[in-house]
Chains A and B, each alone.
Chain A
Amino acid sequence: MLIKTGIPTPEDLEKVYPSEERMLKGPVAIIECFQKIPCNPCTEACKQGAILPMKDINDIPEMDFEKCNGCGVCISRCPGLAIFIVDRSYSEKEAIVRIPYEFVPLPEVGQKVVGLNRAGEELGTFEVKKVQSGGKKNMTYTVWLAVPQELCMEVRNIRLGGVTHGE
């Protein structure tokens, strides 16, 4: 259970996923933020109106997936690092997952890195396609990772070598 382990359950996730049809059309933001907390920078970050305005700052963010163009502005603004972008239109076999990243060293384009799931378990090595800066002040980077289509809703972190935690 999320509140005991920090790992969202399939039921939690089901509530925030876009439809399969929308996923296949192109990049779309997925907000994995499940708890009422006093926070709203995501709503202010989205200029497309895809993240609906909150009535109360404690509301859980809600998406209008049709309005989301996958621009990615929201990813680096979220202090919870809870927003990811998945693009299933990338190729027949592969999808792009865009992941917020705040570690050094940064991966390089073309580098193969370990992809991790929401429990930090290794899912394989995948190629980095792009590394985007969130700006000098923001300092959160977005890493674009090409992963097999079937893993695009599983891969949520990367590791570049170094220590493996919790073993």
Chain B
Amino acid sequence: MKQTEILVVGGGPAGLCAASAAAELGADVLILERDSKPGGQLVKQTHKFFGSKKQYAGDRGIQIGDFLLEQVESNPKVEVWPDATCLGIYEDGVVTAEKDDKHIKIKPERIIIATGAAEKALMFPNNDLPGIYGAGAVQTLMNVAGVVPGKRVLMVGAGNIGLIVSYQLLQAGVEVAAVIEAAPHIGGYLVHASKIRRAGVPILTSHTVKEAYGNDTLEGAIICRLDEKWQPIPGTEQDIKADVMCLAVGLSPLTELCWQAGCKMKYIAELSGHVPVRNEYLETTRPGLYVAGDVSGVEEASSAMVEGRLAGISAALSLGYGKDKAPQLQAEALAELKELRSGPTGEKIMNGIMKLLGKEGAAC
């Protein structure tokens, strides 16, 4: 059985930062990443990031991912296992994983789950036609494999992901027929919306997909307008020809491991689904098991990195590392999170976290 002090599940920005922070305080860390290249969502992000300099704002996602990975790889206390999927966390503290077709058992003293989030699907007739993709798949095709998904795309969802992936499609020379959004307002940052609008892409709010059609593959979709109660308005149907439909209708936390490990879970709409109940330092109701990043509430890479750091420091401290430095580092991370979440876009997240901590209505 493989022994380690801290096991990090997931090598996205949250997991990589958790590993670095814990190792810097002296703990031995093992990272399991099911993909062949760690970096999580960052691997696919060719656009420049928001946030402040502390979270590498202005750099491109992929550059941030490479930088975080280098930081981890240059620390001898961290071991990274790519192509390793965590399968289960058991009552006796044993964790199982699949690596190179082998079933492996690991005995960690602390666990940090940083598995990120999964894409949501959308129900409409013929939503299983080839040519209908999730936004993540489109990004992987384009930005990792260098393959364009098709000729003309209908984007569904005007959150940041829908807007950014539309922009990346334009950059790849693919035509974007329109971005449609069921809500009455654009959900993503307006600077991203303006960027694709001035390239000529219409953004249609209060619109949804009525049905997709096509013989063997997608040929187009009928879209329609929604009223204030989100009901289709008869007679507003439009036929949009497209060989690709890209669904960017939100993410939900990838929490299977938390459920299976017996963490207490709570449904919090503001955090995009069921999330593990945890304390301020990101420890769940299962002692020694921490969470960080999108798995504890879908948010941003900037906050995922800081949460990762906080979980890493807290886990290391609980093992007796960094007793002098850790409390100060924890306070710094909490202050950074508070700053990131202080504006209108962070308000929703703050409300969600307050509900999760059972402090509704209380000041942070």
- In the complex, the chain B residue whose C-beta lies closest to that of A80 is B191
Which chain A residues (64-114) contact chain B, with CB distance < 8 Å?
A: 77-82, 102-104
Partner of A80, one of B60, B171, B175, B189: B189
Q: Considering the chains assembled together, what is the distance between the CA atoms of A79 and B202 in angstroms?
A: 21
Give B46-62 as 1s and 0s: 1 = Cβ < 8 Å from A's Cβ atoms.
01111111000111100
Partner of A120, one of B53, B186, B201, B342: B201
Residues of B within 8 A of A18 (CB): none
Q: Are A81 and B53 in contact (CB under 8 A)?
A: no
Which chain A residues (102-143) contact chain B, with CB distance < 8 Å?
A: 102-104, 116-121, 137-140
Residue A62 at the B interface, CB < 8 A?
Answer: no
Residue A38 at the B interface, CB < 8 A?
Answer: yes
Q: Considering the chains assembled together, what is the distance between the CA atoms of A118 and B197 in angstroms?
A: 7
Which chain B residues (302-358) contact chain A, with CB distance < 8 Å?
A: 302, 339-346
Known: A5-B203, A41-B58. A81 touches B173 (CB 8 A): no
The stretch of B89-97, B137-145, B176-184 that contacts the partner chain: B176-184
How near does chain A come to B275, taking the closest CB pair, in angstroms?
A: 21
Which chain A residues (54-70) contact chain B, with CB distance < 8 Å?
A: 56-58
How near does chain B come to A154, taking the closest CB pair, in angstroms?
A: 11
- In the complex, the chain B residue whose C-beta lies closest to that of A33 is B191
The stretch of A20-28, A144-152, A159-167 that contacts the partner chain: A159-167
Residues of B within 8 A of A165 (CB): 170, 175-177, 199-201
Q: Are A6 and B193 in contact (CB under 8 A)?
A: yes
Partner of B201, one of A37, A78, A139, A166: A166
Known: A6-B190, A38-B345, A102-B171. A79 touches B198 (CB 8 A): no
Q: Are B200 and A166 in contact (CB under 8 A)?
A: yes
Residue A35 at the B interface, CB < 8 A?
Answer: yes
Chain A contact residues: helix, strand, loop or mixed: loop
Partner of B346, one of A5, A7, A58: A58
Q: Are B194 and A6 in contact (CB under 8 A)?
A: yes
Q: Considering the chains assembled together, what is the distance between the CA atoms of A167 and B176 in angstroms?
A: 9
Q: Are A163 and B175 in contact (CB under 8 A)?
A: yes
Residue B4 at the A interface, CB < 8 A?
Answer: no
Residue B205 at the A interface, CB < 8 A?
Answer: yes
Residues of A within 8 A of B302 (CB): 38
How near does chain B come to A85, taking the closest CB pair, in angstroms?
A: 16
Residue A17 at the B interface, CB < 8 A?
Answer: no
Q: Are A38 and B340 in contact (CB under 8 A)?
A: yes
How near does chain A come to B17, taking the closest CB pair, in angstroms?
A: 18
Q: Considering the chains assembled together, what is the distance between the CA atoms of A32 and B198 in angstroms?
A: 13
Q: Are B198 and A36 in contact (CB under 8 A)?
A: no
Known: A4-B205, A166-B178. A38 touches B51 (CB 8 A): yes
Q: Are A157 and B198 in contact (CB under 8 A)?
A: yes
Residue B185 at the A interface, CB < 8 A?
Answer: yes
Give B18-61 as 1s and 0s: 1 = Cβ < 8 Å from A's Cβ atoms.
00000000000000000000000000000111111100011110
Q: Considering the chains assembled together, what is the distance between the CA atoms of A120 and B195 in angstroms?
A: 9
Residue B63 at the A interface, CB < 8 A?
Answer: yes
Q: Are A35 and B190 in contact (CB under 8 A)?
A: yes
- In the complex, the chain B residue whose C-beta lies closest to that of A7 is B197
Q: Are B189 and A35 in contact (CB under 8 A)?
A: yes
- In the complex, the chain B residue whose C-beta lies closest to that of A122 is B200
Most buried by B among A38, A80, A117, A138: A38
Q: Are B198 and A57 in contact (CB under 8 A)?
A: no
Residues of B within 8 A of A140 (CB): 48
Q: Are B185 and A4 in contact (CB under 8 A)?
A: yes
How near does chain A come to B246, taking the closest CB pair, in angstroms?
A: 14
Q: Are A166 and B189 in contact (CB under 8 A)?
A: no
Q: Are B194 and A79 in contact (CB under 8 A)?
A: no
Residues of A within 8 A of B47 (CB): 79
How near does chain B come to A10, taking the closest CB pair, in angstroms?
A: 15
Residues of A within 8 A of B177 (CB): 165-166
Residues of A within 8 A of B205 (CB): 4-5
- In the complex, the chain A residue whose C-beta lies closest to that of B178 is A166
Residue B161 at the A interface, CB < 8 A?
Answer: no
Q: Considering the chains assembled together, what is the distance between the CA atoms of A32 and B193 in angstroms?
A: 12
Q: Can you show 30 pairs from A to B with CB atoms below 8 A apart? A: A5-B197, A6-B186, A6-B193, A6-B203, A8-B194, A32-B191, A34-B190, A36-B343, A36-B344, A38-B52, A38-B339, A38-B340, A38-B345, A39-B52, A39-B57, A44-B53, A56-B342, A58-B343, A79-B57, A80-B50, A80-B194, A80-B195, A118-B197, A120-B201, A137-B59, A137-B63, A138-B48, A165-B176, A165-B199, A165-B200
9 smallest CB-CB distances across A and B, nearest first, come from A58-B343, A80-B191, A120-B200, A6-B193, A6-B197, A79-B48, A41-B58, A165-B200, A39-B50
Known contacts A56-B342, A167-B200; can you find 14 more A-B pairs with CB under 8 A? A2-B193, A3-B190, A4-B184, A5-B205, A37-B345, A38-B300, A40-B53, A57-B343, A78-B58, A80-B50, A120-B199, A137-B63, A140-B48, A165-B177
